[in-house]
């Protein structure tokens, strides 16, 4: 599983950082930061949940 | 008209001119009127379930001006519409589904709030504010929020029951939180609470509405000027400081931004505090579960937000191109209300949607904060405030109960944001 984020689309809702704090964070501007581009398999469900709940659809989970 | 919006295309203007003829349904049957009343204080309007099943994207007529609008009722479609860059939030566009009367000449003078802006103006202003509401920043505010909650519960307990939970807790807590964040002196809170409640009222005359907006703006105008000269450690001062290099807003824009933060920051949360407590008191088994295990609080907050969806029709849009939603083509220039209360009761996402279930695993999929680029910027702050109030109240006031029959409570059926006017409680 690989995670990418489109920071140009990000609206800083922080949903990802709250739902999956090991994988996502927000920088000083409040925009998404991917902490782990290839998160462990046991995080799959929460990563998908974070991507689904992102209001700006800026998160993508590949594989 | 806002000539600056890149989203105002010729097709929008053309569609706006022909829209009244276009909006007559083929059958000639009268259109349903919007808004529709909630069937009971704890449920969505009866018509929503019928619409979701039979005509999920359907036409209606606005009670305020008899103009047509589309109502979108399914979760999937509400997300689709709110995530579509071909819809505009600009209330000056013809076809925008207004829910209270604003005379043309007044509309022309309205300074757009962020929630009525489109990109790129919206993105520029939102990016200035995002750092104020990150998960981390909100977490840092938590101890102070807890302190505010405790102080108000202390005062309520000291005064003794019965008490009106709205005036004792629901209004002052979020009001104080947003005042401190913005740098508004709390001594002034009673005045702006009155203005902002007036601005949320469907039944207000244009003159009354205008007077409320003007009074609040006059106050905020002075406040912003003060902060331009003497910056403090607050959101408005930080916005002004950043604006010196970013230059996204003039003085009047900052006043409008401050009004949005102030009004959006307390009226909504206040209503959710009172409604949430009421709902929990009506479900003693769930209240007991929550008291026994505070780890359930975050999900309970999501479920309460879902069930009440207090800002059901806050998501008004205008199509700027022809868009397909379900089986329907919404034409450029037509108004859309993406109803989050309807979406949040969509059986395909939330089984048995009318039932409050604080354990509901999909609760967080609700759209009570909206969706897309305009999703409530203060959502995380609201979540923390609700958790703090519900959790502390359950812990510190174990005997809490209603002091009036539910039938006697007055609900805000006539307001833009749903709520309850008073909530008499005792313990």
| CA–CA distance, B54 with B144 (Å, rounded to integer) | 48
Question: How many CB pairs below 8 Å do chains A and B form together?
Answer: 55
Average pLDDT, chain B: 90
Q: What pLDDT digit, counting tens, does each position of B352-390 carry?
A: 999 999 999 999 999 999 999 999 999 999 999 999 999
Show the tokens assigned to A43.
Answer: 């995080």
Task: Note whether B418 contacts A: Cβ–Cβ < 8 A.
Answer: no
Residue B295: the pLDDT is 97
Nearest to B365 among A17, A29, A53 (CB): A53
Task: Note whether A52 contacts B: Cβ–Cβ < 8 A.
Answer: yes
Nearest to A29 among B127, B138, B371 (CB): B127
How close B134 comes to chain A (CA, Å)? 6
| Side-chain half-sphere CA neighbours of B151 within 13 A | 10
Residue B33 DSSP code: E
Task: Note whether B206 contacts A: Cβ–Cβ < 8 A.
Answer: no
ipTM score assigned to the predicted complex:
0.95
> Hey, what domains does chain B have and what are their CATH numbers?
10-426 (1.10.630.10)
Q: What pLDDT digit, counting tens, does each position of A3-59 carry?
A: 999 999 999 999 999 999 999 999 999 999 999 999 999 999 999 999 999 999 999
Tell me how far apart the terminal alpha carbons of chain A are, to the nearest angstrom: 5
Q: What pLDDT digit, counting tens, does each position of B135-177 carry?
A: 999 999 999 999 999 999 999 999 998 999 999 999 999 999 9
Task: Note whether A6 contacts B: Cβ–Cβ < 8 A.
Answer: no
Rounded to 5 degrees, what angle do the CA atoms B268, B270, B276 make?
A: 100
Q: Which residue do the tokens 């002052």 mark? A: B172
Residue B39: the pLDDT is 87
Of the residues B76, B89, B117, B134, the best mutation for testing chain A's interface (the one with the most A CB atoms within 10 Å of its CB) is: B134
> Hey, what domains does chain A have and what are their CATH numbers?
2-62 (3.30.70.20)
Return left, alpha or beta for B333; rule: phi > 0 is left, psi -120 to 50 is alpha, else beta.
left
CB contact under 8 A, A11 and B130: yes
Q: What pLDDT digit, counting tens, does each position of B235-284 carry?
A: 999 999 999 999 999 999 999 999 899 888 888 999 999 999 999 999 99
Nearest to B135 among A18, A55, A56 (CB): A18
Helix or strand (DSSP H, E) at A61: strand A59-62
Nearest to B118 by CA among B250, B241, B267, B9: B9
Window B:240-259, CB contacts with A under 8 Å: none
Q: Show residues of chain B in contact with A57, CB under 8 Å.
A: 83
pLDDT band with cut points at 50, 70 and 90 for residue B202:
low
CB contact under 8 A, B380 and A14: yes
| CA–CA distance, B272 with B304 (Å, rounded to integer) | 8
Helix runs in B99-171, H state only: 104-109, 121-129, 135-159, 165
Q: What pLDDT digit, counting tens, does each position of B325-339 carry?
A: 999 999 999 999 999
How close A30 comes to chain B (CA, Å)? 5
Window B:73-92, CB contacts with A under 8 Å: 82-83
pLDDT band with cut points at 50, 70 and 90 for residue B191:
confident
Distances (CA, A) of B379 to A35, B16, B138: 23, 34, 10
Nearest to B371 among A21, A29, A55 (CB): A55
Omega before B48 within 30 of 0, i.e. cis: no
pLDDT band with cut points at 50, 70 and 90 for residue B346:
very high
Q: Show residues of chain A in contact with B379, CB under 8 Å.
A: 13
pLDDT band with cut points at 50, 70 and 90 for residue B22:
very low
CB contact under 8 A, B373 and A12: no
Q: What pLDDT digit, counting tens, does each position of B33-52 carry?
A: 999 999 899 999 999 999 99
CB contact under 8 A, A12 and B134: yes
Mean pLDDT (whole number) for B199-227: 83
Q: Which residue do the tokens 């907050």 mark? A: B301
**pLDDT of B15 higher than 60:** no
How close B77 comes to chain A (CA, Å)? 14
How close A1 comes to chain B (CA, Å)? 23
Mean pLDDT (whole number) for B178-202: 79
Nearest to A30 among B82, B131, B370 (CB): B131
Window A:22-51, CB contacts with B under 8 Å: 26, 28-31, 49
Burial level of B57, CB count in 10 A (0-12/13-18/19+)? buried
**pLDDT of B89 higher than 70:** yes
pLDDT band with cut points at 50, 70 and 90 for residue B28:
low
pLDDT band with cut points at 50, 70 and 90 for residue B27:
low
Nearest to B421 by CA among B173, B262, B200: B200
Find out whether B72 and B336 touch, Cβ atoms under 8 Å: yes
**pLDDT of B310 higher than 90:** yes
Of the residues A8, A12, A15, the best mutation for testing chain B's interface (the one with the most B CB atoms within 10 Å of its CB) is: A12
Residue B16: the pLDDT is 40
Residue B1: the pLDDT is 31
């Amino acid at each position: 599983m690989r995670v990418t984020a489109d920071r140009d689309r990000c609206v800083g809702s922080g949903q990802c950082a709250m739902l999956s704090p090991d994988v996502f964070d927000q920088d000083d501007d409040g925009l998404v930061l991917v902490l782990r581009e290839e998160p462990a398999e046991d995080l799959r469900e929460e990563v998908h949940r974070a991507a689904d709940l992102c209001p700006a659809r800026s998160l993508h989970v590949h594989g | 008209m806002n000539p600056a919006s890149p989203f105002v295309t010729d097709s929008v203007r053309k569609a706006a001119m022909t829209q009244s003829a276009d909006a007559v349904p083929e059958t000639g049957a009268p259109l349903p009127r919007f808004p529709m009343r909630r069937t009971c204080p704890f449920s969505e309007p009866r018509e929503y379930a019928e619409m979701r099943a039979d005509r999920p994207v359907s036409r209606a007529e606005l009670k305020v001006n008899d103009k047509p609008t589309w109502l979108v009722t399914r979760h999937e479609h509400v997300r689709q519409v709110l995530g579509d860059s071909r819809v505009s939030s600009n209330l000056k566009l013809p076809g925008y589904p207004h829910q209270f009367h604003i005379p043309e000449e007044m509309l022309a003078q309205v300074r757009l709030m962020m929630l009525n802006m489109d990109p790129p103006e919206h993105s520029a202003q939102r990016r200035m504010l995002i750092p104020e509401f990150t998960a981390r920043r909100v977490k840092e505010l938590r101890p102070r929020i807890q302190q505010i909650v405790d102080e108000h519960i202390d005062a309520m307990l000291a005064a003794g029951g019965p008490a009106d939970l709205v005036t004792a807790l629901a209004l002052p807590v979020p009001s104080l939180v947003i005042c401190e964040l913005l740098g508004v002196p709390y001594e002034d809170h009673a005045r702006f609470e009155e203005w902002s409640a007036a601005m949320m009222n469907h039944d207000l005359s244009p003159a009354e509405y205008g007077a409320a907006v003007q009074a609040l703006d006059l106050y905020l105008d002075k406040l912003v000027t003060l902060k331009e000269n003497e910056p403090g450690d607050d959101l408005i001062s930080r916005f002004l400081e950043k604006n010196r290099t970013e230059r996204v807003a003039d003085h009047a824009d900052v006043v409008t931004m401050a009004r949005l933060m102030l009004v959006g920051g307390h009226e909504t949360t206040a209503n959710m505090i009172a409604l949430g407590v009421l709902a929990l008191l009506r479900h003693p088994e769930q209240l007991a579960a929550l008291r026994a295990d505070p780890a359930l609080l975050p999900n309970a907050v999501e479920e309460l937000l879902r069930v009440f969806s207090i800002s059901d029709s806050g998501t008004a849009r205008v199509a700027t191109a022809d868009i397909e939603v379900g089986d329907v083509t919404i034409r450029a220039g037509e108004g859309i209300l993406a109803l989050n209360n309807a979406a949040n009761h969509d059986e395909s996402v939330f089984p048995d949607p009318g039932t409050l279930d604080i354990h509901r695993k999909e609760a967080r999929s609700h759209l009570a904060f909206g969706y897309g680029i305009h999703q409530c910027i203060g959502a995380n702050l609201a979540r923390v405030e609700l958790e703090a109030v519900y959790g502390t109240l359950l812990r510190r006031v174990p005997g809490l109960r209603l002091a009036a029959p539910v039938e006697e409570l007055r609900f805000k059926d006539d307001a833009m944001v749903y709520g309850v006017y008073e909530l008499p409680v005792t313990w």
